[in-house]
């Protein structure tokens, strides 16, 4: 489960797109698991918070090319995918 959530977190960064509306819920499916999350700006970081259709929850902080946080009950930390465009958040 943790491996899938970690892969999903990386995928969410890749699929986040160039502009996310603040706190808008995003949904995507990876390897048959559907993930729903929100992206919230906080200082120089972006907080990704959500859950998987299998019941696992995650809260990840994306800052300076690193992703860290919790996926399920496990602590995760990994370098953000190099192919991911920087996440720019639209604010009003």
| Cβ atoms of residues 13 and 88 within 8 Å | no
Residue by residue, DSSP assigns 29-42 as EETTEEEEEEEEEE
Question: What span, in angstroms and rounded, lies between the C-alpha atoms of 21 and 91?
Answer: 7
Per-residue pLDDT tens over the stretch 41-92:
999 999 999 998 888 899 999 999 899 999 888 898 988 877 545 555 554 4
CA–CA gap between residue 76 and residue 60 (Å, rounded): 8
Residue 47 and residue 39 in contact, taking contact as beta carbons nearer than 8 Å: yes
Is the pTM here over 0.85, yes or no? Answer: no
Q: What is the pLDDT of residue 72?
A: 85
């Amino acid at each position: 489960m943790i491996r899938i959530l970690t892969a999903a977190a990386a995928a969410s960064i890749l699929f986040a797109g160039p502009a996310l509306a603040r706190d808008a819920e995003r949904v995507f499916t990876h390897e048959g698991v559907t993930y729903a999350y929100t992206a919230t700006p906080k200082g120089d970081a972006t907080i990704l918070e959500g859950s998987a259709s299998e019941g696992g929850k995650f809260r990840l902080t994306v800052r300076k090319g690193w992703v860290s946080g919790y996926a399920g009950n496990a602590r995760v930390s990994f370098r953000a995918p190099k192919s991911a465009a920087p996440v720019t958040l639209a604010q009003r």
